[in-house]
Amino acid sequence: MAARTSPTERQKRLGSELRKMRTAADVSAQNAAKLLGVDRSRLSNIEQGFRAVSEQRVRTLAEACACTDEAYVLALTSMARPAQRGWWERYRGTLPSGLLDISELEAHAPRMRTAHSVHIPGMLQTSDHALAVFRVVVPALPEHEVALRLAHRVERQQVLSGVTPQEYVGIVHEAALRMQFGGRSVARAQLEHLLAVSESRHVTLRVIPFEAGAFPGAGQTVNYAEGPVPQLDTVQVDSTHGPEFLYGEAQLAKYRSHLDWMERLALPPEKSRDFIHDIARHL
C-alpha cells in the first residue's frame, strides 16, 4: 500500500500513540521494526501516520512493550481497523482538511465538552447563524465555499441525533448569547434553537453570565473530545490558521481543569434555559 501524502489527525494520532508506547518501554526503533517485519523507514512512516498498520501489528507491538492495558490496546486496534468512508470524505479537496479532521474527531467521540465565549457552538448553530458567521471571514470566502461550509456544518450536527446520539456538554458565555450575527431575527431564532436542543436528554447547556467574572482562557474556544479510553482524549482549539489538536497529558489535564473551572461558574441547566429565554424575549 502506498504511503499517504496527507494523513488525517486520527491516523497521525494512532502513529503517535504507537511511538509513545514504544519509547515508554525503551524499545528501539530498530528492534520494533524487526519485530513487526518492516524496515525502519516504514516504521517511521507508521509512527507519523503516513502508512497504515494492521491490527495484528498493533497487538504485537503492545505485547513487546509489555502494555497490559487491554482497553487501551483494544482502542488502538480499533483505530488501525480499515474504516468505512465517513460522510466528511465527500468534502475532501473542497474544504480545508482541518474541518474534516474535526468531523472525524466528533464522529468517534462518545462525549464532548465544549466552551465558547463569543460564538455559539458550531454543533448548535442554526443555518442562518452559521451563514452569517461564514460571511465575515477574512479574506472573504467565495459563495460556493460558503455553501460548502454551511452544508458541512449542518452534517456535523448529526452526531447529536440518531439512534445513539453523542453526549454533549456545552458551556456558553453570555457574550455569545448577545452577539447578533445576522441581525435580531436570526439571533432570536438561534436562541430559540438553543432552548429546543437543550431539552434533549443527551445535551447539557450551561451559561456563564457576565457577573460570574473571570475564568481561565477567556475568549478561547475549547472542544474536548473524550476517547474510548482517557489516554485517547483530544482537545481541539481554534486559531487564525485553522484548528489545532492537542493530546499531551499535561495539555489534556490543563483543559480539563479549564472546563471544570468554567462549569463551577456556570448556571445550572434549568437556570441557563431561563437565562437564554430572557435574552431572546428582549430581542
Contacts with 237 (C-beta within 8 Å, 6 or more apart), sequence order: 220, 221, 222, 223, 243, 244, 246
Q: What is the pTM (predicted TM-score) of this model?
A: 0.94
Residue whose C-alpha is closest to residue 188's, from 254, 258, 100, 129 = 129
What's the pLDDT score for residue 220?
82
Cα distance from N-terminal residue to C-terminal residue, the chain: 58
Looking at domain 9-80, its CATH class is mainly alpha
Q: Is residue 65 within 8 Å of 133, Cβ to Cβ? A: no
CA–CA gap between residue 194 and residue 183 (Å, rounded)? 17
Q: How far is CA 151 from the centre of its chain?
A: 18
CA–CA gap between residue 112 and residue 169 (Å, rounded)? 6
Give me the residues paired with residue 234 across strands.
225
C-alpha cell at 115: 466552551
What's the pLDDT score for residue 72?
98
SS3 category, 198: coil
Q: Is residue 208 within 8 Å of 261, Cβ to Cβ? A: no
What's the pLDDT score for residue 95?
96
What ranges in 97-248 are assigned the alpha helix state H? Answer: 97-108, 127-134, 143-156, 174-178, 184-197
What's the pLDDT score for residue 4?
62
Kind of pairing between the strands at 111-116 and 222-226: antiparallel
Inter-axis angle of helices 40-47 and 29-36, nearest 10: 100
Domain 87-281 has CATH 3.40.50: no
Residue whose C-alpha is closest to residue 114's, from 160, 164, 179 = 160
Ramachandran region, residue 93 (left: φ > 0; alpha: ψ -120 to 50; beta: rest):
left
Note down pLDDT in tens along the chain; length 283 residues: 556 678 999 999 999 999 999 999 999 999 999 999 999 999 999 999 999 999 999 999 999 999 999 999 999 999 999 878 899 999 999 999 999 999 999 999 999 999 999 999 999 999 999 999 999 988 999 999 999 999 999 999 999 987 889 999 999 999 999 999 999 999 999 999 999 999 999 999 999 999 999 988 777 899 999 999 999 999 999 887 889 999 999 999 999 999 999 999 999 999 999 999 999 999 9
What's the pLDDT score for residue 119?
93
Q: Where are the domains of the chain?
A: 9-80, 87-281
What's the pLDDT score for residue 2?
55
